[in-house]
A = this chain, B = another copy of it.
């Protein structure tokens, strides 16, 4: 069965191209009778409209782009699921782009998105991103977009985030409650709001608890690859009076903390209590099970997509400006912060 186009289909049913087109789109201009004729013929000959011709003419691509730092991360996987679930329901297609945490790549991807290929963009920025000029290009092109999770703070655009500051506080309080005297916060980037806000909350809570942070910054930055992270943490744990509590600001740090403390002979939770911002499914069966602050990843993706589609459907790329949806994460206590010692 050769691929058939509307012209040939029209010939087969002895109607004009325009009539066929309208019939397929269920136009009121067409009689019920011819509609069924056309529909049946389309079904019979396996006609499906060329999406590119359609997009070109309608200036709608039925496609959205999702830009994220990486995909091999539980949070992002779940978020993609959320996004997909609404895209599916709208019959939209989803393009995935990975920035690999590189600003230059992110910039490049975004300029690709400006060519009209997509009707909207969902983005979680890389940890290198410190300004939003490249993102403003989308605004110039009137392409709606919404940040999810990793927003750019000083943009009055739609965003779906979590209550990071509160969770930062909560993580600190939890550690202190469990007996930590010297808690630290592991960040990955000073510019990433999810990190900085969590760190701010953390610092606020521990100073409030009477811990002096003027001499030593309790926020420690971990650089890129897993190996570097690992050795940084190992060094941290090798110090004489090392931290007795640690908050991992992102999922990928948790793994390295466990490995490093294992190698250093530091026992969790006896010598070190650990709590991680993470959606790791395996958290309950880790050794020891990991106390997490779990983000509603699926819902974040889902609501971000829903916001985006509101803009797309209303054809108004500023419709959701200043709309910030905050979804709450929840602390799930497990053995990595157990009190027994």
Contact = CB atoms under 8 A, between A and B. Distances in A.
A286 interface: yes
A287 interface: yes
A1 B116 contact: no
A14 interface: no
Nearest to A72: B77
Main secondary structure of the interface of A (DSSP, over half): mixed
Given A96-B80, A282-B255, A289-B287, A116 B50 contact: yes
A285 B286 contact: yes
A111 B1 CA distance: 14
A212 interface: no
Given A52-B56, A98-B84, A286-B282, A93 B77 contact: no
Contact of A93 (B78, B111, B117): B117
Contacts of A289: 287
Contact of A282 (B3, B80, B282): B282
In the complex, the count of this chain's copies comes to: 2
A48 B329 CA distance: 41
Residue from A52, A81, A114, A258 having most chain B Cβ neighbours under 10 A: A52
B115 A96 contact: no
Given A71-B81, A262-B285, A96 B96 contact: yes
A147 to B, nearest CB: 20
A284 interface: yes
A61 interface: yes
A196 B19 CA distance: 52
A201 interface: no
Interface string A2-14: 0100000000000
A3 B116 contact: yes
A49 interface: yes
Contact of A255 (B51, B281, B287): B281
A140 interface: yes
A328 interface: no
Interface in A228-268: 255, 258-259, 262
Contacts of A111: 48
11 contacts: A3-B141, A50-B56, A51-B115, A52-B61, A63-B95, A70-B81, A71-B71, A71-B80, A72-B81, A95-B95, A285-B286
What 5 A-B pairs have minimum CB-CB distances, sorted nearest first?
Answer: A287-B287, A52-B55, A258-B285, A72-B77, A52-B56
